[in-house]
Amino acid sequence: MNSIDDVLVDDESTTTTTTTTTATNSNDQDTLNGSMLKFAAEADQLDEVKRLIEVVKVSPNQKDSFGDLPLHGAIVKKRVKKGADPNATNQVGSTSLHKLVTIDTMKDQFPIIELLMKAGADPTIKNMAGLLPEQLVVFSKIKEVLQGDQAVTIKLTVPKSDHGKIIGRDGKKLNELRELTNTQITVPDLKEKENKVITIKGRSDDVENARQRILDMIKPEEFFGDIMTLHNIPKESHRLLIGAGGATIKRLREEFNVKITIPPPDSQTKEVVIRGELEDIENAMKEINKIIKSVKNKQQQQSNNNNNNNNNNNNNSRPNNRPRTGPPKPKSDTPKPTA
Protein backbone atom coordinates (compact mmCIF):
# COMPACT_ATOMS: atom_id res chain seq x y z
CA MET A 1 0.00 0.00 0.00
CA ASN A 2 1.29 3.42 -0.91
CA SER A 3 2.24 5.84 1.85
CA ILE A 4 1.67 9.60 2.00
CA ASP A 5 5.32 10.09 0.99
CA ASP A 6 4.88 7.80 -2.03
CA VAL A 7 1.78 9.64 -3.23
CA LEU A 8 3.40 13.05 -2.90
CA VAL A 9 6.63 12.01 -4.62
CA ASP A 10 4.97 9.96 -7.39
CA ASP A 11 2.52 12.69 -8.27
CA GLU A 12 5.26 15.28 -8.28
CA SER A 13 6.69 13.68 -11.42
CA THR A 14 3.36 13.49 -13.26
CA THR A 15 1.63 16.63 -12.09
CA THR A 16 2.46 20.04 -13.43
CA THR A 17 4.57 22.06 -11.03
CA THR A 18 2.62 25.25 -11.57
CA THR A 19 1.54 26.85 -8.30
CA THR A 20 -2.03 27.51 -9.50
CA THR A 21 -4.83 24.92 -9.47
CA THR A 22 -6.59 26.47 -12.46
CA ALA A 23 -5.94 29.44 -14.66
CA THR A 24 -8.71 31.39 -12.94
CA ASN A 25 -7.84 30.58 -9.32
CA SER A 26 -6.44 33.40 -7.20
CA ASN A 27 -3.23 33.23 -5.18
CA ASP A 28 -5.35 33.05 -2.03
CA GLN A 29 -7.09 29.95 -3.32
CA ASP A 30 -3.74 28.40 -4.21
CA THR A 31 -2.48 29.01 -0.69
CA LEU A 32 -5.66 27.58 0.79
CA ASN A 33 -5.31 24.46 -1.36
CA GLY A 34 -1.70 24.12 -0.23
CA SER A 35 -2.79 24.31 3.41
CA MET A 36 -5.47 21.66 2.84
CA LEU A 37 -2.98 19.35 1.15
CA LYS A 38 -0.38 19.77 3.89
CA PHE A 39 -3.00 19.19 6.60
CA ALA A 40 -4.18 16.01 4.90
CA ALA A 41 -0.60 14.79 4.51
CA GLU A 42 0.23 15.39 8.17
CA ALA A 43 -3.02 13.69 9.25
CA ASP A 44 -2.21 10.60 7.16
CA GLN A 45 -5.41 11.07 5.13
CA LEU A 46 -4.22 9.22 2.05
CA ASP A 47 -7.55 9.36 0.19
CA GLU A 48 -7.84 13.11 0.71
CA VAL A 49 -4.28 13.65 -0.48
CA LYS A 50 -5.00 11.68 -3.67
CA ARG A 51 -8.27 13.59 -4.21
CA LEU A 52 -6.62 17.00 -3.86
CA ILE A 53 -3.80 16.06 -6.22
CA GLU A 54 -5.72 14.03 -8.83
CA VAL A 55 -9.16 15.69 -8.78
CA VAL A 56 -8.61 19.23 -7.55
CA LYS A 57 -5.23 19.30 -9.30
CA VAL A 58 -3.30 20.79 -6.40
CA SER A 59 0.41 20.65 -7.13
CA PRO A 60 2.56 18.73 -4.61
CA ASN A 61 4.81 21.80 -4.75
CA GLN A 62 2.06 24.17 -3.64
CA LYS A 63 3.10 26.01 -0.48
CA ASP A 64 0.73 26.87 2.35
CA SER A 65 0.43 30.20 4.16
CA PHE A 66 3.59 29.40 6.15
CA GLY A 67 5.64 28.61 3.07
CA ASP A 68 5.64 24.87 3.84
CA LEU A 69 5.34 22.13 1.26
CA PRO A 70 3.01 19.16 1.97
CA LEU A 71 6.06 16.90 1.95
CA HIS A 72 7.75 18.74 4.84
CA GLY A 73 5.37 17.98 7.65
CA ALA A 74 4.47 14.56 6.28
CA ILE A 75 8.06 13.35 6.29
CA VAL A 76 8.83 14.74 9.74
CA LYS A 77 5.67 13.28 11.23
CA LYS A 78 6.18 9.91 9.57
CA ARG A 79 9.76 9.61 10.76
CA VAL A 80 8.78 10.53 14.30
CA LYS A 81 5.91 8.04 14.28
CA LYS A 82 8.36 5.37 13.16
CA GLY A 83 10.36 5.98 16.32
CA ALA A 84 13.01 8.42 15.08
CA ASP A 85 14.72 10.13 18.02
CA PRO A 86 14.20 13.91 17.68
CA ASN A 87 17.12 14.48 20.05
CA ALA A 88 19.66 12.31 18.23
CA THR A 89 22.93 14.18 17.70
CA ASN A 90 25.55 14.19 14.98
CA GLN A 91 29.33 14.12 15.39
CA VAL A 92 29.43 17.68 16.74
CA GLY A 93 26.53 17.19 19.13
CA SER A 94 23.92 19.01 17.03
CA THR A 95 20.29 17.85 17.02
CA SER A 96 17.73 18.22 14.24
CA LEU A 97 16.70 21.54 15.80
CA HIS A 98 20.28 22.85 15.53
CA LYS A 99 20.21 22.06 11.80
CA LEU A 100 16.70 23.34 11.04
CA VAL A 101 17.14 26.80 12.56
CA THR A 102 20.15 27.58 10.36
CA ILE A 103 18.26 27.16 7.08
CA ASP A 104 17.58 30.53 5.46
CA THR A 105 14.26 29.36 4.02
CA MET A 106 12.95 28.40 7.47
CA LYS A 107 11.56 31.90 8.08
CA ASP A 108 7.93 30.85 8.01
CA GLN A 109 8.26 27.13 8.62
CA PHE A 110 7.45 27.18 12.33
CA PRO A 111 5.07 24.17 12.18
CA ILE A 112 7.95 21.78 11.43
CA ILE A 113 9.85 22.95 14.51
CA GLU A 114 6.69 22.81 16.59
CA LEU A 115 6.03 19.30 15.29
CA LEU A 116 9.47 18.16 16.42
CA MET A 117 9.06 19.77 19.83
CA LYS A 118 5.68 18.11 20.33
CA ALA A 119 7.44 14.83 19.54
CA GLY A 120 9.90 15.50 22.36
CA ALA A 121 12.68 17.51 20.71
CA ASP A 122 14.56 19.30 23.50
CA PRO A 123 15.49 22.92 22.62
CA THR A 124 17.82 23.14 25.64
CA ILE A 125 20.34 20.58 24.34
CA LYS A 126 23.71 22.19 23.66
CA ASN A 127 26.09 21.02 20.96
CA MET A 128 29.83 20.50 21.49
CA ALA A 129 30.37 24.23 21.03
CA GLY A 130 28.06 24.85 23.98
CA LEU A 131 25.34 26.42 21.82
CA LEU A 132 21.59 25.99 22.04
CA PRO A 133 19.56 25.79 18.81
CA GLU A 134 18.14 29.25 19.55
CA GLN A 135 21.65 30.72 19.49
CA LEU A 136 21.99 29.69 15.84
CA VAL A 137 18.65 30.95 14.55
CA VAL A 138 18.48 33.02 11.40
CA PHE A 139 15.13 34.57 12.32
CA SER A 140 14.27 35.89 15.80
CA LYS A 141 10.68 34.63 15.62
CA ILE A 142 11.96 31.05 15.63
CA LYS A 143 13.89 31.82 18.83
CA GLU A 144 10.60 32.67 20.53
CA VAL A 145 9.10 29.37 19.35
CA LEU A 146 12.06 27.44 20.78
CA GLN A 147 11.93 29.24 24.12
CA GLY A 148 8.17 28.72 24.48
CA ASP A 149 6.86 29.48 27.97
CA GLN A 150 10.42 29.86 29.27
CA ALA A 151 10.71 33.26 27.58
CA VAL A 152 10.31 36.40 29.68
CA THR A 153 10.36 40.10 28.85
CA ILE A 154 11.50 42.96 31.05
CA LYS A 155 11.55 46.69 30.43
CA LEU A 156 14.45 48.69 31.79
CA THR A 157 14.27 52.48 32.07
CA VAL A 158 17.67 53.96 31.23
CA PRO A 159 18.51 57.67 30.86
CA LYS A 160 18.58 58.63 27.20
CA SER A 161 22.09 60.02 27.61
CA ASP A 162 23.35 56.51 28.39
CA HIS A 163 21.81 54.71 25.40
CA GLY A 164 24.87 55.41 23.28
CA LYS A 165 27.07 53.55 25.77
CA ILE A 166 24.94 50.46 25.30
CA ILE A 167 24.72 50.69 21.51
CA GLY A 168 28.37 51.49 20.81
CA ARG A 169 29.92 52.52 17.51
CA ASP A 170 27.81 51.17 14.62
CA GLY A 171 25.86 49.07 17.12
CA LYS A 172 28.90 46.93 17.95
CA LYS A 173 28.40 46.84 21.73
CA LEU A 174 24.69 46.10 21.42
CA ASN A 175 25.29 43.22 19.03
CA GLU A 176 28.00 41.78 21.29
CA LEU A 177 25.67 42.06 24.28
CA ARG A 178 22.88 40.25 22.42
CA GLU A 179 25.19 37.43 21.38
CA LEU A 180 26.88 37.16 24.77
CA THR A 181 23.62 36.94 26.73
CA ASN A 182 21.50 35.09 24.15
CA THR A 183 18.76 37.73 24.40
CA GLN A 184 16.81 40.04 22.14
CA ILE A 185 17.53 43.60 23.24
CA THR A 186 15.61 46.53 21.77
CA VAL A 187 16.94 50.04 22.30
CA PRO A 188 14.69 52.88 21.08
CA ASP A 189 15.93 55.06 18.26
CA LEU A 190 18.00 58.00 19.42
CA LYS A 191 15.47 60.28 17.69
CA GLU A 192 12.78 59.10 20.12
CA LYS A 193 13.82 61.53 22.83
CA GLU A 194 11.01 60.68 25.24
CA ASN A 195 11.43 56.91 25.02
CA LYS A 196 13.88 55.68 27.67
CA VAL A 197 12.70 52.07 27.85
CA ILE A 198 15.02 49.24 26.78
CA THR A 199 13.31 45.88 26.25
CA ILE A 200 15.05 42.57 26.94
CA LYS A 201 13.57 39.21 25.86
CA GLY A 202 14.86 35.70 26.48
CA ARG A 203 15.13 33.01 29.11
CA SER A 204 14.94 34.38 32.65
CA ASP A 205 18.60 33.76 33.56
CA ASP A 206 19.79 35.25 30.28
CA VAL A 207 17.55 38.30 30.70
CA GLU A 208 18.89 38.94 34.20
CA ASN A 209 22.44 38.58 32.90
CA ALA A 210 21.75 41.16 30.18
CA ARG A 211 20.07 43.53 32.65
CA GLN A 212 23.04 43.43 35.01
CA ARG A 213 25.51 43.97 32.19
CA ILE A 214 23.57 47.01 30.97
CA LEU A 215 23.62 48.50 34.46
CA ASP A 216 27.37 47.89 34.60
CA MET A 217 27.83 49.69 31.26
CA ILE A 218 26.16 52.92 32.36
CA LYS A 219 26.84 55.30 35.21
CA PRO A 220 26.12 53.48 38.47
CA GLU A 221 25.41 56.85 40.13
CA GLU A 222 22.18 57.00 38.18
CA PHE A 223 20.89 54.02 40.13
CA PHE A 224 22.64 54.16 43.49
CA GLY A 225 22.87 56.82 46.18
CA ASP A 226 25.99 57.12 48.31
CA ILE A 227 29.41 55.89 47.27
CA MET A 228 32.06 54.49 49.58
CA THR A 229 35.60 53.65 48.54
CA LEU A 230 37.60 51.29 50.74
CA HIS A 231 41.32 52.05 50.49
CA ASN A 232 42.61 49.73 53.20
CA ILE A 233 41.86 46.35 51.65
CA PRO A 234 45.08 44.67 50.44
CA LYS A 235 45.14 43.09 46.99
CA GLU A 236 45.58 39.61 48.44
CA SER A 237 42.24 39.98 50.21
CA HIS A 238 40.33 40.87 47.05
CA ARG A 239 39.90 37.24 46.06
CA LEU A 240 38.35 36.56 49.47
CA LEU A 241 35.62 39.07 48.69
CA ILE A 242 35.01 37.56 45.28
CA GLY A 243 34.84 33.97 46.50
CA ALA A 244 34.73 30.76 44.50
CA GLY A 245 32.99 31.46 41.22
CA GLY A 246 32.03 34.93 42.45
CA ALA A 247 29.74 33.45 45.13
CA THR A 248 30.82 35.76 47.97
CA ILE A 249 30.52 39.04 46.10
CA LYS A 250 27.16 37.96 44.70
CA ARG A 251 25.90 37.24 48.22
CA LEU A 252 27.13 40.62 49.47
CA ARG A 253 25.44 42.48 46.63
CA GLU A 254 22.12 40.70 47.12
CA GLU A 255 22.10 40.65 50.93
CA PHE A 256 22.94 44.34 51.40
CA ASN A 257 21.48 45.76 48.17
CA VAL A 258 24.73 47.42 47.14
CA LYS A 259 26.98 47.50 44.11
CA ILE A 260 30.55 46.40 44.82
CA THR A 261 33.37 47.01 42.36
CA ILE A 262 36.64 45.15 42.86
CA PRO A 263 39.58 46.01 40.56
CA PRO A 264 40.91 43.24 38.30
CA PRO A 265 44.00 41.31 39.49
CA ASP A 266 46.34 43.11 37.06
CA SER A 267 45.17 46.57 38.16
CA GLN A 268 47.50 48.80 40.19
CA THR A 269 44.67 50.16 42.33
CA LYS A 270 43.62 48.54 45.61
CA GLU A 271 40.38 50.48 45.95
CA VAL A 272 37.17 48.54 46.50
CA VAL A 273 34.14 50.71 45.73
CA ILE A 274 30.72 50.21 47.34
CA ARG A 275 27.67 52.06 46.06
CA GLY A 276 24.24 52.19 47.62
CA GLU A 277 22.34 53.75 50.49
CA LEU A 278 24.57 54.78 53.39
CA GLU A 279 23.08 52.29 55.86
CA ASP A 280 23.44 49.44 53.35
CA ILE A 281 27.05 50.46 52.65
CA GLU A 282 27.92 50.45 56.35
CA ASN A 283 26.39 46.99 56.84
CA ALA A 284 28.26 45.70 53.80
CA MET A 285 31.53 47.16 55.13
CA LYS A 286 31.02 45.39 58.46
CA GLU A 287 30.48 42.09 56.69
CA ILE A 288 33.54 42.63 54.48
CA ASN A 289 35.72 43.36 57.51
CA LYS A 290 34.26 40.31 59.23
CA ILE A 291 35.15 38.09 56.25
CA ILE A 292 38.72 39.39 56.08
CA LYS A 293 39.22 39.15 59.85
CA SER A 294 37.84 35.61 59.95
CA VAL A 295 40.18 34.45 57.22
CA LYS A 296 43.17 36.16 58.84
CA ASN A 297 42.38 34.46 62.16
CA LYS A 298 42.22 31.09 60.43
CA GLN A 299 45.51 31.78 58.68
CA GLN A 300 47.13 32.83 61.97
CA GLN A 301 45.81 29.73 63.71
CA GLN A 302 47.12 27.57 60.90
CA SER A 303 50.49 29.29 61.14
CA ASN A 304 50.64 28.69 64.90
CA ASN A 305 49.75 25.04 64.43
CA ASN A 306 52.47 24.66 61.83
CA ASN A 307 55.04 26.25 64.16
CA ASN A 308 54.03 23.92 66.99
CA ASN A 309 54.30 20.92 64.71
CA ASN A 310 57.74 22.03 63.56
CA ASN A 311 58.93 22.41 67.16
CA ASN A 312 57.64 18.96 68.06
CA ASN A 313 59.32 17.46 65.03
CA ASN A 314 62.62 19.09 65.98
CA ASN A 315 62.43 17.75 69.52
CA ASN A 316 61.59 14.26 68.30
CA SER A 317 64.57 14.25 65.98
CA ARG A 318 67.07 14.78 68.90
CA PRO A 319 66.58 11.88 71.36
CA ASN A 320 69.60 12.84 73.53
CA ASN A 321 67.94 16.11 74.33
CA ARG A 322 64.71 14.59 75.55
CA PRO A 323 63.89 15.58 79.13
CA ARG A 324 64.15 12.86 81.78
CA THR A 325 60.84 11.51 82.92
CA GLY A 326 62.05 10.01 86.25
CA PRO A 327 64.60 10.62 89.03
CA PRO A 328 68.28 10.37 88.06
CA LYS A 329 69.85 6.99 88.58
CA PRO A 330 72.49 6.93 91.41
CA LYS A 331 76.06 6.43 90.36
CA SER A 332 77.50 3.05 91.29
CA ASP A 333 81.06 2.73 92.70
CA THR A 334 81.20 -0.94 91.71
CA PRO A 335 83.41 -1.36 88.67
CA LYS A 336 81.91 -3.08 85.67
CA PRO A 337 83.21 -6.64 85.07
CA THR A 338 85.66 -7.05 82.29
CA ALA A 339 85.74 -9.87 79.83
pLDDT of residue 338: 47
C-alpha span between 88 and 184 (Å, rounded): 28
DSSP string, 105-142: GGTT-HHHHHHHHHTT--TT---TTS--GGGG-SSHHH
Q: Could you tell me if 164 and 217 lie in one domain?
A: yes
pLDDT tens figures, 129-159:
888 888 888 777 788 788 876 777 888 888 8
Can you give the pLDDT at residue 339?
43
* Percent residues over pLDDT 90 in the chain: 7
CATH assignment of the domain containing 53: 1.25.40
pLDDT of residue 6: 54
- pLDDT exceeds 70 at position 127: yes
pLDDT band for position 268 (50/70/90)?
A: confident
pLDDT-derived band at 226, boundaries 50, 70, 90:
low
pLDDT at position 21: 38
250 and 196 co-located in one domain: no
- pLDDT of 335: 54
pLDDT for 48 equals 83
Q: What is the pTM of this model?
A: 0.44
Query: CA-CA-CA-CA torsion for 118, 132, 217, 221, nearest 10 degrees?
Result: 50
Q: What is the pLDDT of residue 147?
A: 81
- Give the CATH number for residue 213: 3.30.1370.10
Do 280 and 238 fall within a single domain? yes
Surface-to-core class of residue 273, CB atoms within 10 Å of its CB (0-12 exposed, 13-18 middle, 19+ buried): middle
**CA gap 336, 77 in Å, rounded:** 108
Q: Among residues of the chain, what percentage have pLDDT more than 70?
A: 70
Which one of 65, 81, 97 terminates a domain? 81
* Better-scored residue on pLDDT, 334 or 151: 151
Q: How far is CA 323 from CA 69, 132, 302, 311, 328, in A?
A: 98, 72, 28, 15, 11
76 and 35 together in one domain: yes
Would residue 246 be called left, alpha or beta, if left means φ above 0 and alpha means ψ between -120 and 50 degrees? left
> Structural domain of residue 213, as residue ranges?
147-222
Give the whole-angstrom CA distance, residue 179 versus residue 135: 8
Q: What one-character DSSP code corresponds to residue 190?
A: T
Dihedral sign computed on CA atoms, order 297, 301, 306, 308 = positive
310: pLDDT strictly greater than 80:
no
The number of folded domains in the chain is 3
The continuous run of DSSP H or E covering 10 comes out as helix 4-14
Instruction: Tell whether 253 and 217 lie within a shared domain.
Output: no
Q: Which of 222, 256, 285 is the last residue before a domain boundary? A: 222
In a domain, 306, yes or no: no
Query: Is the per-residue pLDDT at 9 higher than 60?
Result: no
Residue 187 lies in a domain: yes
